[in-house]
Amino acid sequence: MELFTPDFGLIFWMFVVFALLLFLLGKFAWPVIVKSLEERADFIDKGVEYAQNAKEQLDNAKSEAAKYIQEAQKQQAEILRDAAKMKTQLIEEAKDAASKEAKKVMDAAKLSIEQSRKEAELQFRNEVSNFALNIAEKVMRQNMKSESAQSELVNKLIDEVEANN
Amino acid sequence: MKKLLTILSILLVILIAPATVSANEGNEGGKINPKEIIFDHLGDHYGWEVPFMHSVRIPLPVIVKDKEGSWHIFSSSRLMHDAEYEGFAIAKDGQYAKKIVQISTQPDGTKTEYRPLDLSITKNVMALIISALVVMLCAFSVLRWYKKHNMKAPHKATAMLEVVVEFVYYGVIRPTLGAKAHRFAPYLLTVFFFILVMNLLGLIVIFPGGANLTGNIAVTMVLAVCTFIVTNLFGTKHYWKDIFWPDVPLWLKFPIPIMPVIEIFGMFTKPAALMVRLFANMMGGHMIVITLTLLIFIFAAFGVAVTGISTVLSVAFSLFMLLLDTLVSFIQAYVFTMLSTLFISLAQEEGHHEEKTEKLETK
C-alpha cells in the first residue's frame, strides 16, 4: 500500500522545511513571543497586586483618619474640661484672694479702731484724773482753810501710818 | 443569519466540487472504482488539481536524479497525459504506480522501469511549504505586533493567534516542563502550529489546501523522529540511568537485561505511537469525508429519487465529518504537542537524591 510506505522525497523535504521553520521561528519568533507573554502576565499580576495594595492602604488610611478624628475629639473634650476646671479654680482663687484682702483690711481697721479707742480712753482718763484732781484741789482748799482741820488731817494720816505699821 | 447561509452554501459547493472531479476520474470505464478514487485523493501527485477542470493541473517542478547520476529538473506539465520527457514518465501500474520512473528500452525491445531518486516538489511538498509559510506568517504577525505595540494586548486575528500560543504554552508546556519550558518551547510551539496548519489546510478542498499531509506517514514520521531526537539528545543522566539500570530487583536487569530491553523498546514505541496516532486520525477523517461524498455517485446508479436522498444525506454527513475533522485537527495537534512535551519532560527528570540535596542546600 502506497499510504504506508513513506516516500523518500517527501521525508527529505519535510526534514528540510521543518528544520528551516524550526530554525527561523525558534530563533526569531517564539522566544520573543513567549517572553512578551510572560512579561505581560507579570505586568498584569503586578498591577493587580499594586491595586490591591493601594486599596488596602486606602482602607487603612480611612480607618486611621477616623482614629485621628476620634482622638482629636477626645482631646478637644479634655481641653474643654480642663478649661472649665481652670476657670472654676481661677474664680475660687480670686475669691480666696479677695476674702483674704478683705480680712486684712478689716483687721487693720479693727486695729486702728482699738488703738484710737485706747488713745481715747487714755485721753479720757487723763482728763477725768485732771478733772478729779482739780475738784479735789478745790475741795481741799475749801476744807483746809482752818488750822485745826489741817492738824486734824495730819494726825489722822499719822494714825493711819501707825495703824498700818 | 444571511452570512451563515452564504457560508453554508459555499461549504456545499466546496464539498461537491471534488466529488464532480472524482466522478469524472473514476467514471472512465462507466463504472466507479471507489477504492481507486479514495486512494488517489489520499496520495501524492506531481501536479495540483484545479476544481471543475479535471484535465488542468497546476504544474510543479520535478527534480530527479537518473540512473547515471545526473540531475533533471523540469515542469511536471511535461509528464501530464502519459507524456514522456527526457526518458521519464509517470508509471501507470506496477510496483511504482503513479511515481516517476526512468524508462529504458532494452536491446530486445522490452521496456524496464527504474525508479530514480525523486526529490520532486510534489503536491504534498508544495503543501508543506505553503503550510510552513502560513505558520511563519502567523508567528511573525504576532511578533510584529509586539515590536510595534510593546506591552499592549493584540487585537483581532493576532489576538486569536496569541490566545492559541498562550493556550499551548501555559496549558501544556509550562506546567509540564516548569523551569525548562523556555528551552523546549520553540520546538513544541513550532510542532503544534505546523501540525495544526497542515491539518486545517488539508481540510480545504481547493488549491492552497487539499493535500492529505498529516495523513501521510512520511510527514508524521519526520515529526515523531524529531521528538525522538529532542527527547534523547537533551535527556539527563538520570533518564539514561533509568533506561540501562532502572530501580528494579537485580534479577530483572542482570544477567539477562529484561528491563533495559523493555525500556529501550519503550524509547522507540513512544514516538511510533505519536506517528501512527496523527497519521491514522487525519487519514481516517479524510477517508470518511471522501467516502461519504462518493456515496452520491455510487447511489446514482439507482435512479433520481435515491440519488436525491443520498445527496442530501451525504452532504449532511460530510459537513458533519468536516466539522468534526476541524475539531480533530486541533485535538491531534494538541495531543501530539502534549505527548511530545510529556516525553521530553520525562527525559528531563532529575534524580530524587539530587533534588533532596538541592533542597537542603537552598535551605
Closest CA of chain B from A78, distance in Å = 56
Which of B216, B275, B287 to substitute to test the interface with A, most A CBs within 10 Å?
A: B216
Domain end point (choices B85, B100, B120): B120
Candidate from B39, B117, B194 with C-beta closest to A21: B194
In a domain, B45, yes or no: no
Cβ distance A3 to B42 under 8 Å?
yes
Classify residue B283 by its DSSP letter.
H
Q: Are residues B174 and B76 in the same domain?
A: no
Residue B29's pLDDT is: 47
Q: Of A7, A17, A26, which has the smallest distance from its Cβ to B44's Cβ?
A: A7
Looking at chain B, which residue has its C-alpha nearest residue A26? B186
Q: What is the dihedral of CA B21, B317, B29, B42, to 10 degrees?
A: 60
Q: What does the pLDDT read at residue A55?
A: 94
Question: Which residue type does B97 have?
Answer: A
B52 three-class SS: coil
For residue B20, being part of any structural domain is answered with: no
What's the pLDDT tens digit per position in B120-158?
888 888 889 999 999 999 888 888 888 888 777 777 888
B302 located within any domain: yes
The pLDDT mean for chain B works out to 81
Residues B195 and B98 in one domain: no
pLDDT: which is higher, A101 or B153: A101
Name the phi and psi angles at B58, rounded to 5.
-75, 120
Q: Is residue B107 domain-shared with residue B236, that is, in the same domain? A: no
DSSP E strand stretches across chain B:
47-50, 53-59, 61-65, 71-75, 88-90, 100-105, 111-114, 117-118
Last residue of a domain, one of B120, B153, B188: B120
Report if residue B338 sits inside a domain: yes
Does residue B223 share a domain with residue B102? no
On the question of pLDDT at A103 being above 50, the answer is: yes
B101 and B230 in a single domain? The answer is no
Asked if residue B259 and residue B212 are part of one domain, the reply reads yes
- Determine, for residues B44 and A26 on separate chains, whether the beta-carbon distance falls below 8 Å: no
Tell me how far CA of residue A142 lies from CA of A55, A136, A149, in angstroms. Answer: 127, 10, 11
Separation of alpha carbons B153 and B160, rounded Å:
11
Domain identity same for B274 and B173: yes
Which positions in chain A touch B217 (Cβ < 8 Å)? 3-6
Both B100 and B129 in one domain: the answer is: no
Q: Which of B65, B72, B146 to mutate to test the interface with A (most CBs of A within 10 A)?
A: B146
CA dihedral B343, B346, B347, B349 (to 10 degrees): 160
Establish if B34 belongs to a structural domain: no
pLDDT at B363: 41
Is the distance from CB of B341 to CB of B173 less than 8 angstroms? Answer: yes
What domain count does chain B have?
Answer: 2
User: What is the 8-class DSSP label of residue B212?
Assistant: -
Q: Is B190's Cβ below 8 Å from some Cβ in A?
A: yes
Q: B223 to chain A nearest CA, in Å? A: 8
Chain A residue numbers with beta carbons less than 8 Å from the beta carbon of B98 are 2
Residues B284 and B235 both lie in one domain: yes
In a domain, B239, yes or no: yes
Q: Which cell is A165 given?
A: 505699821
Q: Which residues of chain B have pLDDT under 50?
A: 18-29, 354-363
Answer for the pair B122, B219: CB distance below 8 angstroms, yes or no: no
- Residue among B129, B139, B187 whose CB faces A17 most closely: B129
Residues B75 and B200 in one domain: no
Q: Do B223 and A20 touch (CB under 8 A)?
A: no
Q: What is the structure's pLDDT at A8?
A: 85
Task: Name chain A contacts of B169, Cβ cutoff 8 Å.
Answer: 34, 37
pLDDT of residue B190: 93
pLDDT of residue A93: 94
Which domain range does residue B108 map to? 61-120
In Å, how far is A44's CA from the nearest CA of chain B? 10
The verdict on B139 and B252 lying in the same domain is yes
pLDDT reported for residue B134: 92
A21 → closest Cβ in B42, B136, B185: B136
B7 part of a folded domain: no
What value of ipTM does the predicted structure carry?
0.81
**B135 and B104 in a common domain:** no
